[in-house]
Structure 1
Amino acid sequence: MFNLHGKLQYFLYPAPVDMRKSFYTLSGVVSSIMKRNVQDGEAFIFVNRNMSIMKVLHLEHGGLVIYHKRLENGTFTLPRFNEDIVSQQITWQELMMIVDNVKPIKRRLKKRQKSI
């Protein structure tokens, strides 16, 4: 069941994350780098270098849950933040704007070579 809502606190990790990471390694990033506690019930947001994949780590009643969103086309647009911070607190509305305000990628088509 989807259990994210406006009453939770959300923390965005500003650096790109390897999306092969799962529960334990993302929890390690939260505790060692972000200096937060996963057990506090907050939600932690991670994106990859290309800004096309997002994971949200959250502790629910049954245990840790990862919400994973992969864009087929476009990129997420993150809010601006100070470069020396290790986590940026954002609101539910800001998270929804990040998810909804996807920027399409403009791709150039390669010219085909004519075969003789």
Structure 2
Amino acid sequence: MKMFVEPSDIYLYLDNVDFRKSINGLIVVVEQQMELNPFRDALFVFCNKKRDKLKVLYWDKTGFALWYKRLEKHRFKWPSDTELQHIHLSEQQLQWLLSGFDVIGHSPLNYTTSGL
């Protein structure tokens, strides 16, 4: 994912998030549930209950930015761990996730173009 920042950390929030939340609501999740500083040099990745949408929140030194992705047919391969609130990802793992792989690089999604 190309952005205007190169974050030092990427955090994946493991629980689902109500996607009516925008920047301010997600900042509250980062602060209160993840117990992290939203102003740090990091990306915070959230998923909805159906696992077909992602939001990525980050501070770019002038304000917060929110990136949104929706899958048309499949679901994101979202890890689950009942003991953790969030996990730390590498840039490669984030690329895998955004490309339809699980974060350990297995099970790709296969798309075909349909005469758009």
Provide the secondary structure at the position in 2 that maps to 1:10. Answer: strand
Number of corresponding residues: 102
Aligned equivalents of 1:71, 1:101: Cα separation in 2? 9
Alignment of structure 1 residues 24-35 onto 2, 5 Å:
24-35=24-35
Counterpart for residue 20 of structure 1:
20
Aligned equivalents of 1:75, 1:31: Cα separation in 2? 27
Aligned equivalents of 2:12, 2:75: Cα separation in 1? 16
| Residues 34 and 87, structure 1, Cα contact 8 Å, conserved in 2 | yes
Alignment identity in percent?
A: 25
Larger Rg: 1
- State the shift of 1:54 in Å: 0.1
| Residues 5 and 60, structure 2, Cα contact 8 Å, conserved in 1 | no
Letter in 2 for 1:31: E
Letter in 1 for 2:53: I
Q: TM-score, normalised by structure 1?
A: 0.80
Cα distance change, pair 81–50 in 1 and its aligned pair in 2 (3 A) = closer
Counterpart for residue 41 of structure 1:
41
Provide the secondary structure at the position in 2 that maps to 1:96. Answer: helix
CA RMSD of aligned residues (A): 1.8
Counterpart for residue 110 of structure 1:
none
Counterpart for residue 96 of structure 1:
95
Counterpart for residue 3 of structure 1:
4
More strand by share: 2
Aligned equivalents of 2:67, 2:23: Cα separation in 1? 11
Alignment of structure 1 residues 29-108 onto 2, 5 Å:
29-78=29-78, 80-101=79-100, 103=109
- State the shift of 1:41 in Å: 1.8
Aligned equivalents of 1:48, 1:82: Cα separation in 2? 16
Cα distance change, pair 64–93 in 1 and its aligned pair in 2 (3 A) = same
Aligned equivalents of 2:75, 2:5: Cα separation in 1? 22
Aligned equivalents of 1:81, 1:73: Cα separation in 2? 21
